[in-house]
Chain A
C-alpha cells in the first residue's frame, strides 16, 4: 500500500556544494533523489523506510556529456534518452545505447538516470553489465574532495557499495578504445519494454590473428551484484574462437554465476540462458 506521501521530506538545496554540506553535516540522514523512478516505486509500495531526501535533479554540475580523445565522461544525471541521443555512443558504446533503449518505456527513459541505476544497485539493472564491460570509472565527491574508482568492485554485496553516506556519485567515465571491438548485448525479459531482466548479458572482444583478444564479459540478474565475469574472460583470452573455446567458456561461466529463484525467473532458467548467451556471443565473434 502507498506510503503517506506528505510524511516524506524532499529538500532542494540548489547547488552541489550545498548538497554535499548537508550530507556531511548529518551523515545518513539525507539521501539523494534523482529521477525518482526507483524511489517513487518503493514509496508507492510502502517500502521506502527512509524519509529525508535531497533533490539533486536540478544540479547542473551532475549533467552533461564531455568527450575527449581518451574518454567520454557523463554526468550522473544523464538520462537514458540523453544516452541514446549522443551520436558518438552509437559508435563507441553501442551496448550502453541498447541498454538505455531497452530500459522501461520512453517516459522512464526521460527521467531515469545512469547514476540512479548504479546506486540503486539492483543486480537486475540493465546498464551495469554494459558499464562493466566498458571498464567504467565512477567519480565520488564529498566535501573532502573527489575520488575516481573503478566501477568493477564498486558493488561489494547485495545492495552494498563502497560509496560513503557523505558522498555523491557525480560522473561516470568510459575509456575510448581504439581496438576494433565487437559488441554483444542481450536483455532477456518477459516483454520488450517495461520489463525487468531475467538475464542481461554484455560482451565485447575482437578476434586478432585468429585469437580472442580484449574480451570483457558482464552479466546481470545472475548474482547478488552485477557481475564482471573475469574467470570466463581469462579462460577465453588468447584462444582461437572455436567450439573448444565455447565449451570452455560455458563451463567456466557455469561456476562463476550464482543465479537465484525469484518472482521473475528460476535459477535453472537463468543458468541455461547465461550459458546460451555466452555461446551466442562467441559464435557471433567467429562469424
Chain B
C-alpha cells in the first residue's frame, strides 16, 4: 500500500500538498479526486487508478493566480504556509459549489482545515474577498 500523499510528494515531487497530521484532522494534504475534496493522507493510491487528481499546483492558470490565491496574498491569509494549500483548495471547493456563501457556510467549508499561525480571521477574510471577485 502507498498513500496518495506520499506518491504526490515523493514520487511526483508535487510538494505543494503538505502533511500536517497524517490522520485526516488538519486538511493540509487536501487534493481533489474527480472534483471532490479529500485528505490525501487517508487515500491509498490503489483507489485512484483512472481518477483525475488536482493538487494546489493545478489551481493557478499559468502565471494567473486563482482569485482565492490572490485574495490570500492581499489579506495576509498565509503565514508559515503549511495549511495554505489545503485552505486554498477548501475555499476553491466552496466557491465552486456556492458562489455566494454566508459566513456560516464559509466556516463550514473551512471546518476540516486547521491553522496554527493565523488565528483564522485573515483566512476567513481572504475567502470573503475571493467571493467578492
Using a CB–CB cutoff of 8 Å, the interface residues on chain A facing chain B are 2, 5-6, 8-10, 12, 33, 35-37, 40-41, 44-45, 53, 55, 57-58, 81, 104-108, 110-111, 192-194
Kindly list chain B residues whose C-beta atoms are within 8 Å of the C-beta of A55. Answer: 44, 46-47
Contact B46 A107 (CB under 8 A): no
Taking a contact as CB atoms under 8 Å apart, the answer to whether A45 and B27 are in contact is no
Question: B37 is contacted by which of A44, A53, A107, A192 (Cβ under 8 Å)?
Answer: A107
Contact between chains at B2 and A44 (CB < 8 Å): no
Which of A58, A104, A194 is in CB contact (< 8 Å) with B47? A58
Among A8, A106, A111, the residue within 8 A (CB) of B43 is A111
Binding-face segment, B18-26, B55-63, B71-79, B121-129: B18-26
Q: Nearest Cβ in chain A — how far from B29, in angstroms?
A: 9
Q: Is the CB of B42 within 8 A of A36?
A: yes
B30 interface residue per 8 A CB criterion? yes
Chain B proximity of A40: nearest CB distance (Å): 4
Main SS class of interface, B: mixed
In the bound complex, residues from chain B placing their C-beta under 8 Å from that of A106 are: 37, 90, 93, 108-109, 111-112
A residues within 8 A CB of B37? Answer: 106-107, 110
Per the bound structure, the CA–CA distance linking A12 and B45 in Å amounts to: 11
Task: Report whether A105 and B27 are in contact in the complex, using a CB–CB cutoff of 8 Å.
Answer: yes
Assess the A44–B1 pair: CB atoms within 8 A. no
**Contact flag A104-B112 (CB < 8 Å), given A5-B2, A41-B42:** yes
